[in-house]
Chains A and B, each alone.
Chain A
Amino acid sequence: MKEELLKRIVKTPDGQEIEVDPLLDYYCQEGPTVQPPAYTAIIEKLFNWARSESLWILGFGTGCGAIEMRPLMTPRFDAYRYGIQWRPTPRQSNLFVISGYLSTKTLKRVIRSYEQMQGPKYVVGLGSCTINGGMYWDSYNTIKRLDDYLPVDVYIAGCMPRPEALLAGFEELKKIIRAGKAEGANLYAKNFEWYKANQKSVIHDWDMPDYNW
Chain B
Amino acid sequence: MIRDVLSPFTAWKNLFREPVTIKDPLNERPGSARYRGFHQNDLDKCIGCGTCETICQNGAIDMLPVDGVPAKLGDSGLRPRIDYGRCCWCALCVDVCMTGSLTMSNEYKWIESDPDKYLYMPGVDKKHWDNAELGYRRHEERHLSPGDRVDMPELHAEERIGSFIEMVKGYDIAQAQLEADRCVSCGLCIASCPAHMAIPDYIKAVRNGDYERGVQLLYETNPFSQVCGRVCTHCCESACAARHEGDPIAIRWLKRHIIDQVPQERILQLIGKPAAPTGKKVAIVGAGPAGLTTAFDLARLGHAVTVFEAQAAGGGMTRYGIPEYRLPYDALDRDIAVITAMGVEIKYNHRVGTDISMQQLETDYDAVVLAIGLHQGRSTRIPGSDHPQVRKAVDLLRQITTGEKIDVPKSMVVIGGGNVAMDIARSMARLQMQQYGEIRVTLTALEDKAHFLADPVEVKESIEEQINILDSRGPQACVIDADGKLLGLKTWKVLSIFDEDRRFAPKYDPADEQIHEGKMIVEAIGQMADVSLLGDALTEKLEWNRGRIQIDPNGRTSEHWLWSAGDCVKGPDVINAVADGHRVATSIHCVLTQQEAKI
Contacts and interface: CB of A to CB of B under 8 A. Distances in A.
Q: Do chains A and B touch in the complex (CB under 8 A)?
A: yes
A197 interface: no
A125 B19 CA distance: 31
Q: Is the interface of B mostly helix, strand, loop or mixed?
A: loop
Contact of B118 (A135, A138, A155): A155
B113 A155 contact: yes
A185 interface: no
B21 A152 contact: no
A202 interface: no
Given A132-B118, A134-B58, A147-B115, A157 B84 contact: yes
For chain B, the bracket of interface size reads 20 to 34
Contact of B113 (A81, A134, A176): A176
Contact of A132 (B25, B29, B110, B115): B115
A150 to B, nearest CB: 12
A77 B19 CA distance: 11
B113 A154 contact: yes
Interface string A159-170: 101111101110
A156 interface: yes
B86 interface: yes
A44 interface: no
Given A75-B19, A77-B25, A134-B85, 17 more contacts: A75-B20, A77-B21, A77-B22, A78-B22, A128-B60, A128-B86, A131-B86, A132-B85, A132-B118, A134-B86, A145-B115, A147-B115, A156-B110, A157-B38, A165-B109, A168-B109, A176-B113
A144 to B, nearest CB: 8
B59 interface: yes
B16 to A, nearest CB: 15
Nearest to A78: B21
Contacts of B58: 128, 134-135, 137
Interface string B112-152: 11010010000000000000000000000000000000000
Interface in B55-105: 57-60, 83-89
Contacts of B84: 128, 131, 157
Nearest to A161: B108
Interface residues of A, number: 36
A123 B22 CA distance: 26
A125 B88 CA distance: 15
A152 B118 CA distance: 15
A99 B320 CA distance: 73
B113 A158 contact: no
Interface in A55-99: 75-78, 81
A46 to B, nearest CB: 23
B111 interface: yes
